[in-house]
Structures are given as structure tokens and as C-alpha cells.
Copies of this chain bind each other. A is one copy, B any other.
């Protein structure tokens, strides 16, 4: 009988789940942020705190990777998945930041639809992370993320048409466009996370 002296380090799955749960928190804060009467400065602070937490988790994954002798997935896949989860957070934080930076008082109503899609994408992603262990039952995750990305795309294009519809001056269009583009980038970034997971599963198949 051969003993396994270097057990595969399963804590990665928990770390990815933590990162994804942190995205759920940030997405919910974004929903709050754009609600009427929100204390925007305070909520933006909380989103920034999420982003810092996310950075720390990403670095913890990288450090662990440097010390692991037998990580449960290819090193480059762990690296890429951690980076892409981080990209989602960066885009969400940038959107929140720009709303403050540009002192945008009123936001077009369609933005709430954009942000709710992000909230759902974050939840679906967080639910999928524990299934990385077995790489099973991930098909529904990819399908739903794909559908959400398509929805996000349509909402984004409607918002663009609205921005250019004549109600805003050019500088306001520029500012609002930056915000909705960051939110669209966050939706794309969720799809990149799903693509990375799909890529990992494909290699294993």
C-alpha cells in the first residue's frame, strides 16, 4: 500500500468560493448604491473595502500556490481563475468610483437592470465554485452565465440608445457612458471566469 504523503491541497476550492462570495457582497452593494436616497459615499467605501478583501484573497491564493507541491489543478489555471475573479471586482469597483468621481446625481433607470444582472451572475458564480472540486454539473452554470451576458448586452445597448436620445449634453453622455461601460465590463468579466472554468473542465475531459 502506497501512502499519499503530499495530500492534494483542497483549500483552493474554499478560497475560490470566498472570492466569489465577496463578489456577491459587492454586487449587492452596487444595487444599494444606485437606489434612491442611498448614502453613496458610505456605500462606495464599503465597495472599496470589498475590493481590498478581494486583493488580499487573490494574493493568499498566489502565496499558497508558491508553496503547494501538488495543487489540485494546473498551476496556470489556478492563477488565471484567481486573476479573472479579481477582474470582476475591479470593474465593479471602478463603476462605483466613477459615479462619485463624476458627481453624477441622477442615473438613468436602466442602470438598475445592469446591476441586477451582475448580482445574479455573482450568485450563480458563487454557487458554481464548490463544484470545481468534481468538475461536474457545471453545464447549467455556463448556460446561465451566457444568458446573463446576453441580457447584459441588450440592457447595455438600450442604455446607449437612451444616452444618445437627446436628453443629455455631450459631457454628461461621456460620464454616464464610462459608468455603464464599466458595468458591461463586469458582465463580460463574469463570462471570462466561466470560460476559464470551462477551459479547466475541457482539459480534464
Chain A residues in the interface with B (C-beta under 8 A): 62, 65-67, 75-76, 79, 83, 97-98, 101-102, 157, 160-161, 164, 169-171, 173-175, 177, 195, 198-199, 201-203, 205
B160 and A101 within 8 A (CB): yes
Q: Which of B66, B79, B173, B202 contacts A75 (CB 8 A)?
A: B202
CA distance A202 to B150 in the complex (A): 35
In the bound complex, do residue B160 and residue A65 qualify as a contact, i.e. CB atoms below 8 Å apart? no
| Copies of this chain present | 3
Which of chain B's residues has its CB closest to A204's CB?
A: B75
Would you call A203 and B76 a contact (CB within 8 A)?
yes
> Taking CB as reference atom, which chain B residue is nearest A66?
B205
Chain B nearest CB from A170 CB (Å) reads 4
A198's nearest neighbour on chain B, judged by CB, is: B62
Instruction: Provide the residues of chain B in CB contact with A203, threshold 8 Å.
Output: 75-76
With A97-B157, A102-B164: A76-B171 Cβ-Cβ less than 8 Å: no
Which label, helix, strand, loop or mixed, suits the secondary structure of the A interface? helix
18 A-B pairs within 8 Å (CB atoms) are namely A62-B198, A65-B205, A66-B205, A75-B203, A76-B199, A76-B203, A79-B198, A79-B202, A83-B195, A97-B157, A102-B161, A102-B164, A164-B171, A164-B174, A164-B175, A170-B171, A171-B173, A173-B174
Q: Separation in Å of the A164 CB from the closest CB of chain B?
A: 6
**Minimum Cβ distance to chain B for residue A22 (Å):** 19
Closest 9 CB pairs of A and B: A170-B170, A66-B205, A101-B161, A170-B171, A75-B203, A75-B202, A65-B202, A79-B199, A79-B202
Contact status of A101 and B157, CB under 8 A, knowing A170-B171, A199-B76: yes
Assuming the contacts A164-B102, A174-B173, A175-B164, asked whether A66 and B195 have C-beta atoms less than 8 A apart, the reply is no
Given contact pairs A65-B205, A174-B174, a sample of 8 additional A-B residue pairs in the complex whose CB atoms are under 8 Å apart: A65-B202, A67-B205, A75-B202, A75-B203, A83-B195, A101-B160, A101-B161, A174-B177
